[in-house]
Each structure stands twice: as structure tokens, then as C-alpha cells.
């Protein structure tokens, strides 16, 4: 059983990454196995065949559950996350991966963004997207009871989907 967090924030070691880790750990009741902080992949994301990007793709593909986390940027997920997701084959690139979309934003106006914007691309890549997305306010995510409530509600489903 492998759990991974993919953070598509242009700032390294971001609140987005922290929130993704918190969510994955709450869902699976254990520390995450891998973290892909997409910003660390740098210019390798702009082409094909970069060794570090390929290794990050393999890490995600070998995971059972992946939290895909992004800040809300211009009302959607970041271009940086999109560049990373473009590295996966359409239809099968995330086959066998249970994907959980997570987005952070400044206010409630984009609360549907994880389900309306991020979940469809994850589904297109073949991920199992049976859990709803989660949207948190970036200034208060660490203390927001919504994260714990979400985990309590969906942890049994995540466990069933990942074969625990």
C-alpha cells in the first residue's frame, strides 16, 4: 500500500503540500510514503523524457492512493500541475490509482473547483475518482474541522478502494 501527495504549487514546501499530506495521513491513518512537490521538477516539465519527471510519474503510478493538491489560481488548478499531469498517458496513465482532488483558495467562491475542474482531468487519465474533492481556505486549512470530517467520512471508502 503506497500513498503519495502531489502538490502543484509554484512555491516549494507550500501550504498546499502540507494540506495534502494532512489529508492523506488522515484518510489512511499513517504517514505518506511519497511526496511529489512538482515545483522541484523545474524545466523538465516542459518537455518529454526528463529523468526526474519520469521517476515522479512512476512514483504516482505505483501508488494506491494519491492526493492531488493545488492552490486555486485564476479559478482553476495551476498550470504547473497541468504540466505534470500532461506527462501521463490519456485513459491509462493513472489506471489503478485512487485519486483525491484537493484545492486551497482564499475564499469560498471556488469551493466546487476540485470536483468541477480537477476531478475530470484525473478521470480522463484513468484514475479512480470515487471520493469527492475537498476545498479548504488556505489561511485556515490546518485548523479547519472540514479536513477531519472529510477523512472520517471517506476513510472507509478509501480503504475499500485501495484494498486495505
162 belongs to a structural domain: no
CATH of the domain at 142: 3.40.50.360
Count of structural domains within the chain: 1
Domain hosting residue 140, numbered range = 3-157
Chain centroid, CA 49 distance in Å: 22
Residue 164 covered by a domain:
no
Residue 94 lies in a domain: yes
The Cα-based distances of 82 to 48, 67, 110, 125, 150 in angstroms read 14, 15, 18, 12, 25
- pLDDT > 90? residue 164: no
Mean pLDDT of all residues belonging to the chain: 96
pLDDT in tens, 62-102: 999 999 999 998 889 999 999 999 999 989 999 999 999 99
Is 106 inside any structural domain?
Answer: yes
For residue range 118-130, list pLDDT tens digits in order. 999 999 999 999 9
Distance CA 54, CA 22 (A): 26
In a domain, 13, yes or no: yes
Q: Is residue 163 in some structural domain? A: no
- pTM assigned to the model: 0.97
Amino acid at each position: 500500500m503506497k500513498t503519495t501527495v502531489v502538490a502543484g504549487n509554484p512555491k516549494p514546501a507550500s501550504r498546499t503540500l502540507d494540506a495534502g499530506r494532512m489529508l492523506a495521513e488522515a484518510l489512511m491513518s499513517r504517514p505518506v510514503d511519497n511526496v511529489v512537490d512538482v515545483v522541484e521538477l523545474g524545466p523538465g516539465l516542459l518537455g518529454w523524457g526528463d529523468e526526474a519527471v519520469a521517476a515522479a510519474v512512476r512514483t504516482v503510478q505505483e501508488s494506491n492512493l494519491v492526493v492531488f493538491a493545488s492552490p486555486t489560481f485564476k479559478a482553476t488548478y495551476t498550470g504547473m500541475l497541468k504540466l505534470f499531469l500532461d506527462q501521463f498517458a490519456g485513459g491509462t496513465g493513472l489506471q489503478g490509482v485512487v485519486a483525491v482532488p484537493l484545492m486551497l483558495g482564499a475564499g469560498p467562491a471556488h469551493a466546487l473547483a476540485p470536483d468541477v475542474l480537477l476531478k475530470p482531468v484525473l478521470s480522463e487519465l484513468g484514475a479512480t475518482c470515487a471520493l469527492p474533492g475537498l476545498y479548504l481556505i488556505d489561511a485556515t486549512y490546518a485548523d479547519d474541522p472540514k479536513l477531519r470530517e472529510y477523512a472520517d467520512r471517506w476513510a472507509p471508502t478509501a480503504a475499500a478502494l485501495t484494498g486495505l
